[in-house]
Amino acid sequence: MLKPESQKQISQCISLLLLTALALCLGCLPNPEPFTPNQSATGEGQKDQLETEQLADPAIGEPDSNSISDSSGEVVSPTSPLLEDIKLVSTNAEDGITIETYAITYKSDGLLIKGYLVKPQKGDNFPVFIYNRPGKGDKGLHGKTSLKLQRTFASNGYLVLSTQLRGNKHTEGIDEMGGKDLNDILQLIEIGKTLNCVQPDKIVMYGLSRGGVNAYQVSRVSDDIKAFAVVGSSIDLRIDFSLRPKLYKSVYRKLLGDSVKNRAAYEARSPRYWVDEINEPFLILHGDADKIVPVKNASIMANTMKANGQPHKLKIFKKGDHNLSNFLNERNALILDWFAKYLNE
């Protein structure tokens, strides 16, 4: 029998051998990945660091997490001596192009007018695209949907200008629906001609609904626009009144007075009465399901321009609504193709 001292020594040797063997086994195991607090179980731990929209006006919309930077050209900050103020309010990605949206303030007839300037972040020498708003007063103001469309046009190589016009929560004055408010658009044209990053002799204009009427009016008094495109535009207020009698009673009679006594004021807002004073090419788009402006407005205008030999193109969309919102891609493509045709001449 072993002595107690020998038994103790044997036990210590066995323990030492077991610990050595265990250490060797653990050394063969793979090292675990270090834990990072930001890492999720799916491995998507890092927050997307792409540029996001910096909101200055809730009407502009939500931040765009898909914003990116393109790598061509130089960053040019737009300036014009006719602007009272210009402030970058958002940066978004549109079709792989980084688009900047600026809030602008300018003077028209001494009134401070608000609007937007939307352009590719990089590059210069852009043609100017003027976007005329629809509606009256606070209805139809440029907001999230309008600015999204303006960014779409800007992603096609345009600097886009838009105005809120006078007489609403953003601006001073009274909206006369085609009266002195037309000066707000004419002044926007002058701003477009004096910007440091444009081609001042290449300006086009798009108008929706009331903005279409304003486009016809601009054509009557200015030679600065190469081509126009209108959607859902009225050309004779009397036609609209037949469909919407409240439009006359609640809006125009209060604004302009009796339509018989003040016929000239109504005809000044009805392009069919001075078609022969329009010199530039017009793209006329309308939906036959338009419940706001009857589609015959477009047909009458196109037929009159055809009889006069004036350059134009008419497209009526079957089941198209007032904004042609159910034909957005086709509508936008037609507008862009029309403008490119005349800018490249």
Q: Directed axis angle between helix 182-194 and helix 210-221, to 10°?
A: 70
Contact 168, 139 (CB under 8 A): no
**pLDDT of the residue at 11:** 54
Structural domain boundaries in the chain: 70-343
Indicate the pairing of strand 312-317 with strand 198-208: unpaired
Distance, CA of 14 to chain centre: 81
**pLDDT of the residue at 40:** 32
Residue 52, pLDDT > 50, answer: no
Q: What is the mean pLDDT of residues 132-149?
A: 92
Q: Directed axis angle between helix 328-343 and helix 144-154, to 10°?
A: 40
Q: What is the mean pLDDT of residues 248-273?
A: 89
pLDDT > 90: percent of the chain? 67
Class assignment of domain 70-343? alpha beta
Residue 182, pLDDT > 50, answer: yes
Residue 81, pLDDT > 60, answer: yes
Starting at the edge strand that comes first in sequence, how are the strands of the sheet with 282-287 ordered?
83-94, 97-108, 111-120, 159-163, 126-132, 198-208, 227-231, 282-287, 312-317
Gap between the Cα atoms of 209 and 140, Å rounded: 10
Confidence of residue 259 (pLDDT cuts 50, 70, 90): confident
**pLDDT of the residue at 247:** 83
**pLDDT of the residue at 13:** 47
